[in-house]
Amino acid sequence: MRILLTSESPLDDFGSGAFASDLASGLARAGHEVRCLALGRRQAGHDELPVRRIICGTDPEAHLPWDLPVFEDQPRRGLPFLEFSDEQLIQYRERVRRELDAEVSEFDPHVIHGQHVWVQGELILETGVPYVLTAHVTELRACERDDRFRPLAEQAAENAGRVITGDSRLRSRLLRLYTHVEPSSVMVIPLPVDAASFQKQQPREAVLSGLGLPESSGSVVVVMGPFEHQGGISALLNAAARIEQADTELTMAILGDSREREHFEALGQRLGLRRVHFLGQRLRTECTPLLQVADLAVTLGESDVEESFSLGAMAAGCPILASPAAEDHELLANAILTRLDGTSRSAYPDASTAAAIGQHALDSTVPQIEAIYADVLERRLSSSDAVLKFKRQQSAKPPS
């Protein structure tokens, strides 16, 4: 089967792009022809599979002359979709349409699978190719905030062969938001992760020094979360001040980026934090070794980025603390310290975590997604055969 995977995020970052990248690897190993279409800031040089990138930024060869589009709740620096001017939205749609049409013309996919029920989904509909979409809470929130995007997303969801959600709670939310979507077309399948890519471990000292972190025998905590003034990284920094008083050897590494990152770095300086380090936006391959040696991974949000980060941490054998609504820094500090005291990395993953990883692993998720593709194609073929049969019957009728 020829399968085109699309993403409105980069393939090499945590988030929906990582899910598309891992799924592409799993489908290719299963014998399918796979290509990808995704946004990016640069052309990567070592893609395992063919990738067409829509480059954003100030580079003279960029397809779009502004920063990478992002969703507001993602810990990623860029131009939020909801801040698009009407002209930018038109330009974005036209560029994606051009690249998508070129890929469809060149590759002739049997099915297209898009990450996010968003702008690309509506453009995939225009191609006439059978398609599947994976929904994330990220774009559902965005559609609740901006009426410009909702008709595009709803049209994409209504006409998709299937919509996949990672859990039943998200499925219910999608059906409440898009009331015309047929419930039977929305399926729950755990989001895929290539667990094998998180197994190769490097020496702790080399990992820490390679990222500019101090070599220490103390605990290492890795954090991913939104750069928000209420909760998120703001709460974390105030919690870190409390943590440094209790554990002077603990090192905290904050991943992700934001246009307001400098504000939070200044807050850290005012709080006198000595062992908190802002690592900025990093490729997933750069973060994997850190998760393999860290003692705790903390998520402070619920976007596709934090979800991908959590699955990566689980696959890397790193204990996780999820505090998406953390605003009380004292409670957050106590939760981190308690988790560090009560969880030994050597005893992780436990049986329940190992079972969760198994549900998300490619050898579990890929067959389920293959079955969805086959069903969508079968229904499309049956529908086409029925139309052709009807036309033949009509043409065979004697004129009245």
For residue 255, give the CATH number of its domain: 3.40.50.2000
Residue 131 lies in a domain: yes
Residue 112 has pLDDT above 60, yes or no: yes
148 and 98 fall within a common domain = yes
Model confidence pTM above 0.75? yes
257 and 366 fall within a common domain = no
Residue 398 lies in a domain: no
pLDDT, tens digit, 9 for 90 and up, residues 245-272: 887 789 999 999 988 889 999 999 999 9
The strand ranges marked E within 263-354 are 276-280, 296-299, 320-322
Residue 312 lies in a domain: yes
10 Å Cβ neighbour count for 281? 19
Residue 80 lies in a domain: yes
227 and 186 fall within a common domain = no
Residue 395 lies in a domain: no
11 and 159 fall within a common domain = yes
The mean pLDDT of 166-175, rounded to a whole number, is 95
β-pair partners for 164: 134, 187
- Residue ranges making up the domain that contains 27: 2-192+361-390
Tokens 């085109």 — which residue?
4
Number of domains into which the chain is organized: 2
Element at 186 (helix H, strand E): strand 186-188
327 and 380 fall within a common domain = no
Higher pLDDT, 393 or 60: 60
Q: Are 249 and 216 in contact (CB under 8 A)?
A: yes
Residue 277 has pLDDT above 90, yes or no: yes
110 and 255 fall within a common domain = no
- Could you tell me which of 110, 127, 119 has the C-alpha nearest to residue 39? 119
172 and 207 fall within a common domain = no
Please, what is the average pLDDT of the chain? 88
45 and 21 fall within a common domain = yes
Q: Percent of the chain beyond pLDDT 90?
A: 64
30 and 157 fall within a common domain = yes
Residue 54 lies in a domain: yes
Residue 399 lies in a domain: no
177 and 233 fall within a common domain = no
Model pLDDT, residue 75: 85
148 and 291 fall within a common domain = no
The residues, any chain, with a CB within 8 Å of residue 171's CB and separated by 6 or more, are 165, 186, 188
210 and 336 fall within a common domain = yes
